Amino acid sequence: MEKLVVLSGAGMSAESGISTFRDTGGLWDKYPVEQVATPEGYRRNPELVLRFYNERRRQLLSVKPNMGHKLLGELEKDFDVAIITQNVDNLHERGGSSRVIHLHGELTKVTSSDSPNDPRYIKELKPEEYEVKMGDLAGDGSQLRPYIVWFGEAVPMIEKAMEYVAQAGIFVIIGTSMNVYPAAGLLHYVPADARVFLIDPNEVNVQSSRRIEVIRKGASEGVAELSARLGQ
């Protein structure tokens, strides 16, 4: 089966009603990034940070995967699909994708404040556990924190993502500005003979001289057109 690798960003989930961070009126307008998405912000006010991610998890309970997520799930019938996402929601999984690499962490998981990437302390929350409070402890006795890669932290899954991208026969970019590194650099690892698609309703400035097939549509319509172009 041909390997199809998808890199998805905030635009993938926007149609499902997940607030984007960077757009006007997005989350960064309401919550300065320094407060809720940096290790320093967490050390200064852990309670605020926990509350912010509790709200994000509550939002997850009220949204559903959109047609774009579901169509990517269906592509697994004909392709060996890997999803690399910058999103922390679980909509790709709920849409039917079985191999999802989360570069920036996962909203439904919590971990140790002292050793965030130690697999012994990473825990998947059930919906009834989505409200994390001060005093909730990880296995090592430290405060439970969101399993999110904050600004200034290493991206532990990037090597795995590079491995998948280096094997791609088809590489698809959906709903990402290609401004956030290291994710934006993944395009450099795509084999020279692979087909590259870009799905976005807006113009995206991609720093690459290679041929890119652009589909100027949102995630759902764009993935439907991608499927048609791939002969599905």
Q: What is the DSSP string of 174-189?
A: ES--S-STTGGGGGGG
Strands, E, within 113-217: which ranges?
123-124, 144-148, 170-174, 195-199, 213-215
| Tally: H helices and E strands in the chain | 9, 9
Amino acid identity of residue 123, one-letter, is: K
Type and span of the H or E element at 113: none
162: burial class by Cβ within 10 Å (0-12, 13-18, 19+)?
middle
Q: Which residues pair with 172 in a beta bridge?
A: 6, 197
Provide CB contacts within 8 A for 172, sequence distance 6+: 4, 5, 6, 7, 196, 197, 198, 199, 226
What number of other Cβ atoms are within 10 A of residue 166's Cβ?
Answer: 15
Kindly report the length of the chain. 232
Among 69, 92, 102, 104, the active-site one is 104
- Token couple for 170: 């088809």
For the chain, the maximum distance between any two Cα atoms, rounded to a whole number of angstroms, is: 53
- CA dist 28 and 57 (Å) reads 17
- Told to judge if 102 belongs to the known catalytic residues of this protein, a careful annotator would answer no
Catalytic residues: 104
